[in-house]
Amino acid sequence: MRVELSAGPIEVTAEGSGKPLVLLHGLLTDERLWDPVVPLLTARGFRCFRPTLPLGSHRLPMRADADLSPSGLARLIAELIRALDLAPVTVVSNDTATALTQLLLVEHPDVVERAILTSGDCYEYFFPPVFRPLTIAPRLPGGLQALGRAVRLRMVRKSPLAFGWLTRRGISPELARRWSEPVVTSAKIRRDTAAVLRGVDRKITLDIAEQLHTVKVPVLLVWGADDRAFPLRLAHQLVGAFSDAQLVVVPDSSCYVPIDAPEQLVALIADFAGSR
């Protein structure tokens, strides 16, 4: 389905019936990040809403004046949840969306019933050091297009600069092409992506971390034990910032927990969120 918001249109895939979940992906991925977990979640009685956020792999460009700063993106997510008449709802995040969900919890607490934060940006890791060169790409002529073309190459795709540190199971050539196609082919998507990248600043996640103690809803952190992009020490630090949070460390998984450990993640979601 297509949902019209103040910042522009958002594509949303909805599957299953029962208790709703909103599954949020990170930079330069889309709703298909959650493909391994959705059939398992729907079998357990969940209805999964997967928006394609304007984070570089989206196919519907935002309005030219859209606020795509981290706070603007959190506001977009809150508006989407309200537009879908889901508030308050359980939100599950990964990667960049884990930073956005921290903002959502503090700035729009009415839309979240529970939050499950899987490995992702927090504290001084917004972005992780290995990915900070991404913020330079929009400043270089053709930089985003070159980045999109590069991740299609097997050597680059498996390197730390692309997906090498994010998943142990790897990303298929088809999925890498799907995620890179929008920035290669669309000037408006490149405009949106540049706006997102300009807003990335570790000061934002450091500042919001000081307010996480005000979050009233239960929070579950699910972190990949082998995550080299977002070290496990960040998860231990983050769990202590909330007033009601727990941490589960998933073995044999890196950042993309939905891809690396779908069965374990689904079991944790079902136990924490409770299907209807």
**How far is residue 51's CA from residue 110's CA, in Å, rounded to a whole number?**
19
Q: What is the pLDDT of residue 17?
A: 96
Name residue 41's amino acid.
L
pLDDT by residue for the chain (276 residues), tens only, comes to 999 999 999 999 999 999 999 999 999 999 999 999 999 999 999 999 999 999 999 999 999 999 999 999 999 999 999 999 999 999 999 999 999 999 999 999 999 999 999 999 999 999 999 998 888 888 888 888 988 898 887 888 888 878 989 999 999 999 999 999 999 999 999 999 999 999 999 999 999 999 999 999 999 999 999 999 999 999 999 999 999 999 999 999 999 999 999 999 999 999 999 854
- Global pTM reads 0.97
Q: How far is CA 216 from the centre of its chain?
A: 22
Q: What is the pLDDT of residue 264?
A: 98
The residues pairing with 21 across neighbouring beta strands, listed in sequence order, are 48, 90
Cα 54 to Cα 10, 213, 222, 257, 269: the distances in Å are: 8, 29, 24, 21, 25
Buried b (16+ CB within 10 A) or exposed e, 57-75: bbebbbeeebbbbbbbbbb
Helix, strand, or coil (residue 73) = helix
Specify the long-range contacts of residues 157-163, CB closer than 8 Å, at least 24 apart. Answer: 160/130, 160/228, 161/130, 161/131, 161/133, 163/256
